[in-house]
Homo-oligomer: A and B are copies of this chain.
Amino acid sequence: MQFELSKEFLERFREAINSREEDFIKKSLEGIKIADISALLEEFESHETKYVLDLLGQEVTAEIINNLEEDTRGKFLKAFDSGEIAEVIRELDSDDAVDIMNELQVKEREEVISLLDDKEKEKHIVELLRYEEDVAGGLMAKELVKANLNWTIVRTIEEIRRQAEKVEKIYSVYVVDNNDILLGRVSLKKIILANDTTKIKDIYDKNIISVETYRAEDEVAAIMRKYDLEAVPVVNVQGKLVGRITVDDILDVMQEMAEEERLLMTGITEDVEEDDSIWMLTRARLPWLVIGVFGGLLSAEFMGLFEKDIVEGAWIALFLPLIQATGGNVGIQSSSIVVQSLANPSAFEDGLWKRLFKVFLIALLNAVFLSIIVYISTFIMGFERTHGLIVSLALFSVVILSSLVGTITPLTLDKIGFNPALASGPFITTLNDIMGLGIYFYTIHVFVNALG
């Protein structure tokens, strides 16, 4: 039952815009969901989008602007003056309104606020602008329905009616005392099934989950997932109900978190997509590639110290890829397991030393197994036994060390406030590569001296 955007329709629509076919445009967008209209308009230039929106009325325009991707919207809003933006802001829920306000220059923002002529909205927006975008306070909307403990059902339904236009999806009515302290909730189902004269305090659910304004967005997502919530009330430090986060925003947060992790793991420095410009895509990819290249040059410089060894024993060079690839694979596996357990924290996490000891045991098992494979294989491949032994021993050490580094790095990054997924990215991989080389040549030296 979804509206399917086709290339044919896109072309027909483009034609309609060019030839200003108002009727066709209005008719073909009738009954189409906002999200689909937004996806369609993403394909057009700002002035074309503006032409279409002017035909659709203020409320739809506001919702569509709210739905556009951030970079399209940024470009698009440049064609708007403060008065027009204020009209858009007036139509939106406070959380969405603030997201747009956050994209404006400070001066423009002030202008828009002064033009709102809706005292309540103005108050809401000024309050929400105080919060960082990635904490509960920055995700919440001020629109919600609350009821006093002492109200009857009839009084509560009146309140729902009063708020109906402002709060699109109600889910629950939050129950507060005279000081706005959050006490619990009543589901709409309960309200429908209760008698008109029943008092809220006799039917409300005290066992309610709420989050504080300062909670990070990933914590909020984890809480909503854990307790299967479709909305969660937000309280300030005094326990006062100050807003509500709905699950649709959390779906977006989870998507963004997955994307951020993917970018970090692959060393892409900007939030790019395949359809961004060639220049943007290149710019996002080059920084880490350049750092990787300098890592490679550093490796060359380092190995230059051992040039004599390589000339005397070319077998040394042949096993470089083996050592480096294995070190890389072990390191990235170790760090991804830590990243996963940081994303799903358990209440009973082991301490650091117990964790490292376990990692060490796993690494030991892997290292023994892989070294034996390599020793036997080099024998079969006809390499000298000492050379096979040296390679196996170097591999053994690389597996152990890469495991430990792969475990400690994400834990450290997390502790100092970085995304631990960075540890699976090219920066750490480059460091690991250089460390692997060091171990390899160190082992060679120790053994070539020992074995003559």
Contacts and interface: CB of A to CB of B under 8 A. Distances in A.
Interface size bracket, A side: 35 or more
A258 B222 CA distance: 14
Interface in A318-332: 318-326, 328-330, 332
Interface string A319-356: 11111111011101101111111001011101000010
A400 B6 CA distance: 33
Contact of A321 (B229, B324, B395): B324
Contact of A10 (B187, B188, B348, B355): B348
A309 to B, nearest CB: 9
A4 B347 contact: yes
Given A192-B191, A261-B262, A266-B336, A292 B157 contact: no
A248 interface: yes
Contacts of A361: 278
A123 interface: no
A39 B223 CA distance: 13
Nearest to A406: B266
Given A39-B346, A164-B193, A325 B429 contact: yes
A56 interface: no
Interface in A1-38: 1-2, 4-7, 10, 31, 33, 35
B326 A268 contact: no
Contact of A381 (B40, B191, B297): B297
Contacts of A39: 346-347
A341 B273 contact: yes
B321 A433 contact: yes
A77 interface: no
B426 A329 contact: yes
Contact of A307 (B254, B259, B303, B318): B318
A440 B74 CA distance: 45
Nearest to A300: B318
A207 interface: yes
A301 interface: yes
A359 to B, nearest CB: 9
8 contacts: A1-B208, A1-B209, A164-B193, A224-B251, A266-B333, A275-B346, A292-B326, A299-B318
5 tightest Cβ-Cβ pairs between the two chains A and B: A296-B322, A5-B347, A317-B317, A228-B248, A274-B341
